[in-house]
Amino acid sequence: MSGTLKPKMRILLGAEIAIGPGKADLLDALARTGSISAAAREMNMSYRRAWLLVDTMNRCFKRPLVEASKGGSGGGGAQLTALGQEVLARYRAMEAKAAASVAAEMREFSRLLAAGSQ
């Protein structure tokens, strides 16, 4: 086991994860690619899984975070709405603040982990 030690934050709405690290990464990929299927490929997940994550986010917020257009001869696509862009920016800011606020504890915590896990 190896990798960077970092805290993860999830925003729950009832039993559902409204947004967390994976969903934020999916929103980033959607913004880059303009497509749910391309974002799913980039993240090595199925289209269905990506679509279900988008659907959950869209249901958890007051308005959709992602708008998708159907495919066809002109092709489909997906884009973040203004709310989606705002939610992603606020989530990333919260992640940075959370990581900074526990940096000292994370350094100490890393000493407690098994060798080679850092």
- What domains appear along the chain, each with residue ranges and CATH number? 11-68+75-107 (1.10.10.10)
| β-sheet bridge partners, residue 80 | 66
Distance from C-alpha of 16 to C-alpha of 8, rounded to nearest angstrom: 16
Q: Looking at residue 1, what is its pLDDT?
A: 46
What is the reported pTM? Answer: 0.87
Q: What is the mean pLDDT of residues 58-80?
A: 86
Percent of the chain with pLDDT over 90: 76
At residue 45, the 3 state secondary structure works out as: coil
Q: How confident is the model at residue 60 (pLDDT cuts 50, 70, 90)?
A: very high
Angle 68-40-5 from CA coordinates, rounded to 5°: 125
